[in-house]
Amino acid sequence: MKFWMAFLGFFLLLLLLLLTNTAARGEYGVVHVVSENWSKDYCILFSSDYVTLPRDLHHAPLLPLHDGTMAPWCPGKDSSRQVRPGAPRRRPLRHTTAMVMRGNCSFYAKGWLAQGQGAHGLLIVSRVSGQQCSDTTPAPQDPHQPLPGLTIPVAVLRYNDMLDILRHTHGSAEVRVALYAPPEPVLDYNMVITFILAVGTVAAGGYWAGLTEADRLQRRREDEGAPVDFTPAMTGAVVTMSCSIMLLLYFFYDCFVYVMIAVFGLGAGTGLYSCLAPLVRHLPLQQYRWPLPGHRACLQLPLLLLGGLCAAVTVLWIAHRNEDSWAWLLQDALGVAYCLLVLRRVRLPTLRNCASFLLALLAFDVFFVFVTPLLTRTGESIMVGVAAGPVDSVSRERLPMVLKVPWLSFSSLTLCDQPFSILGFGDIVVPGFLVAYCHRFDVQVRSRQVYFVACTAAYAVGLLVTFVAMVLMQMGQPALLYLVSSTLLTSLAVAACRQELALFWTGQGRAKTPRVTEQVI
């Protein structure tokens, strides 16, 4: 059992290194569609280099929608619809927003034709979803110069959204649309929820690790439930295999993502069982047990029922993982249990080992966020690309090794690309190892949780700094750069002030207190 837990804890660590947030792709807007008894918002892509959309729906003109998806709408395809410069203009689309198919001609040509017939806006339906804005919006040779003669907004609408609009508005006398681009929220209340989840998980994992250490010292023996010590050799193996997994995800995302989902399901189910088992053992059903042939252990009915419940919850999440309305709650619950399992079962015995592990993963995080954009063809960091999922992904799956909380403020970004803010498990577990180490050291030297409280507070401050940096720089951040710095420096400062730096560095707190008999307060 101990070997299994060591293997599981080691392998789980390889999968916990995803970045906090992702960057937006392109310039997003919203088209608000209204019929007699129905309305809905859809995502659009546009270029602000030549046109500015209203910032809110109240200032956006609500115009009739003209369905031109059955016409070619390209120069030379239908001469009756062409308008030459200087010729008398027929304006059959006066005060409307036209909707046409992508076709083979340029976006500018389509926009100019629509404007020449009096349209006040143009929606171009594209079957390719998730493209860069520069690829799907009209742009001149010099992107900093406005398009000559084109003054109406031209935007791209997804093909599936067009089908949804036609299905809901079939038979309606009149359909009206409004194009606008609501501002992106600088801050959202879901950051508060993410902050509470992350800090609460780190604090609970560190506290539980301290309780386990106190129990181990009292019993003076190692049992099956004892943590597994993490050696320096394992640090090198973790970093090497993490780089390999990141590259496999970047180049073979659609295949490898299902391996990650399966591994997360296994680890999350095990973590949920580990968190609930201590509570279940106090239920009044312990008399229902059956001895195993040839073993001293017994099968206990409460634990069997708990195992079935954890398996059912995990299967439920796997089956409905893409249900955005509620599946994120299950994912977050399983993710928290996942992190608690690792923090409890994996122990870094000395601060020397802990610091080398944290700094190695800090270098890994910074490299894949800040350095890889210089090496990739698109200029996007591998970490951000993997965390968000490739734009050309066929499976449309997302990696589950994150806490995700839906945005509470409406914006075009939440509608088009990022309905959730995410925090990677690595940003919880990696600094969480140091918090757990601090609490174990508190138990050894009987310092009444001084190190634990200081390191937990430092983690909270580091996470706030990460959020501020993300808002100011408007890009994904290597969160470990702030979290490792704040927690490591704070814990070293506390040890120096208490004149316990040598003991803290070597993890020899027991040398100062040969007998530890008190319970952790």
Longest dimension (CA), the chain: 99
Confidence band (pLDDT; 50, 70, 90) for 498?
A: very high
The single residue of 365, 392, 417, 442 carrying the catalytic annotation is: 365
Residue given tokens 């270098």 in the structure block: 363
What's the token pair of residue 397?
A: 């799956």
**pLDDT beyond 50 at 482:** yes
Confidence band (pLDDT; 50, 70, 90) for 95?
A: confident
> Average pLDDT, whole number, for the chain?
79
* N-terminal to C-terminal alpha carbon distance within the chain: 30
CA-based nearest residue to 156, from 178, 131, 183 = 131
Confidence band (pLDDT; 50, 70, 90) for 88?
A: very low
Instruction: Determine the pLDDT at residue 114.
Output: 86
Q: What is the dihedral of CA 409, 411, 414, 415, to 10 degrees?
A: 130
User: For residue 36, how many other CB atoms are within 10 A of its CB?
Assistant: 11
| Helix locations, 320-395, DSSP H | 327-345, 351-366, 382-388
DSSP 133-193: HHHHS---SSTTSPPTT--S-EEEEEHHHHHHHHHHSTT-S--EEEEE-PPPPS--THHHH
Residue given tokens 């200032």 in the structure block: 59
> 157 near 383, Cβ under 8 Å?
no
Instruction: Determine the pLDDT at residue 464.
Output: 92
Out of 18-27, 175-184, 267-276, 320-329, which region has the weakest mean confidence (pLDDT)? 18-27
Is 49 one of the annotated active-site residues of the chain?
A: no
Confidence band (pLDDT; 50, 70, 90) for 1?
A: very low
Residue 264 CB contacts under 8 Å (≥ 6 apart), including other chains:
15, 334, 338, 400, 401
Confidence band (pLDDT; 50, 70, 90) for 450?
A: very high
Taking the C-alpha atoms of residue 360 and residue 455, their distance in angstroms, rounded to an integer, is 19
**pLDDT beyond 70 at 432:** yes
Instruction: Determine the pLDDT at residue 370.
Output: 82
> 467 near 456, Cβ under 8 Å?
no
CA-based nearest residue to 174, from 35, 350, 19, 375 = 35
Instruction: Determine the pLDDT at residue 390.
Output: 74
**pLDDT beyond 50 at 246:** yes
Instruction: Determine the pLDDT at residue 472.
Output: 80
> For 303-311, what is the mean pLDDT?
89
Confidence band (pLDDT; 50, 70, 90) for 237?
A: confident
What's the token pair of residue 186?
A: 């600088």
Instruction: Determine the pLDDT at residue 86.
Output: 46
What's the token pair of residue 348?
A: 């870094």
Strand intervals (E) in 68-174: 97-101, 121-126, 154-158
Choose between 414 and 33: higher pLDDT: 33
CA-based nearest residue to 179, from 341, 34, 69 = 34
> For 25-42, what is the mean pLDDT?
84
The domains located in the chain, with CATH, are 2-24+186-260+347-512 (no CATH), 28-80+91-141+162-180 (3.50.30.30)
CA angle 473, 476, 479 (to 5 degrees): 100
pLDDT per residue over 377-395, tens digit each? 777 788 877 877 776 778 8
The reported pTM is 0.76
* Positive or negative: CA dihedral 52, 56, 59, 61: positive
Confidence band (pLDDT; 50, 70, 90) for 431?
A: very high
**pLDDT beyond 80 at 186:** no
Is 427 one of the annotated active-site residues of the chain?
A: yes
For 368, the 3-state DSSP assignment is helix
> For 109-126, what is the mean pLDDT?
87
The CB-side HSE value for 440 (13 A sphere, CA atoms) comes to 31
Taking the C-alpha atoms of residue 311 and residue 273, their distance in angstroms, rounded to an integer, is 9
Taking the C-alpha atoms of residue 423 and residue 403, their distance in angstroms, rounded to an integer, is 5
pLDDT per residue over 35-79, tens digit each? 888 899 999 988 766 677 888 888 899 999 998 888 878 776 553
| Backbone torsions φ then ψ of 178, nearest 5 degrees | -135, 130
> 136 near 123, Cβ under 8 Å?
no
Taking the C-alpha atoms of residue 19 and residue 21, their distance in angstroms, rounded to an integer, is 6
Residue given tokens 């059955």 in the structure block: 70
Instruction: Determine the pLDDT at residue 414.
Output: 75
* Positive or negative: CA dihedral 243, 248, 253, 255: negative
Write a three-state SS string for 256-275.
HHHHHHHHHHHHHHHHHHHH
Q: Based on C-alpha coordinates, what's the Rg of the chain?
A: 29
Confidence band (pLDDT; 50, 70, 90) for 140?
A: very low
The single residue of 161, 332, 427, 442 carrying the catalytic annotation is: 427
Instruction: Determine the pLDDT at residue 222.
Output: 54
CA-based nearest residue to 349, from 505, 515, 487, 489 = 505
**pLDDT beyond 50 at 23:** no
CA-based nearest residue to 451, from 406, 416, 503 = 503
Instruction: Determine the pLDDT at residue 134.
Output: 39
CA-based nearest residue to 179, from 68, 45, 24 = 45
Out of 7-11, 153-157, 289-293, 369-373, which region has the weakest mean confidence (pLDDT)? 7-11
Residue 192 CB contacts under 8 Å (≥ 6 apart), including other chains:
none
Residue 276 amino acid letter: L
Beta bridge partners of 355: none
Choose between 106 and 296: higher pLDDT: 106
Choose between 68 and 136: higher pLDDT: 68
> For 184-194, what is the mean pLDDT?
80
User: For residue 216, how many other CB atoms are within 10 A of its CB?
Assistant: 19
**pLDDT beyond 50 at 303:** yes
Out of 194-208, 267-281, 425-439, 473-487, which region has the weakest mean confidence (pLDDT)? 473-487
CA angle 400, 403, 408 (to 5 degrees): 120
Q: What is the percentage of the chain residues whose pLDDT exceeds 90? A: 30
Taking the C-alpha atoms of residue 304 and residue 290, their distance in angstroms, rounded to an integer, is 11
Residue 218 CB contacts under 8 Å (≥ 6 apart), including other chains:
516, 517
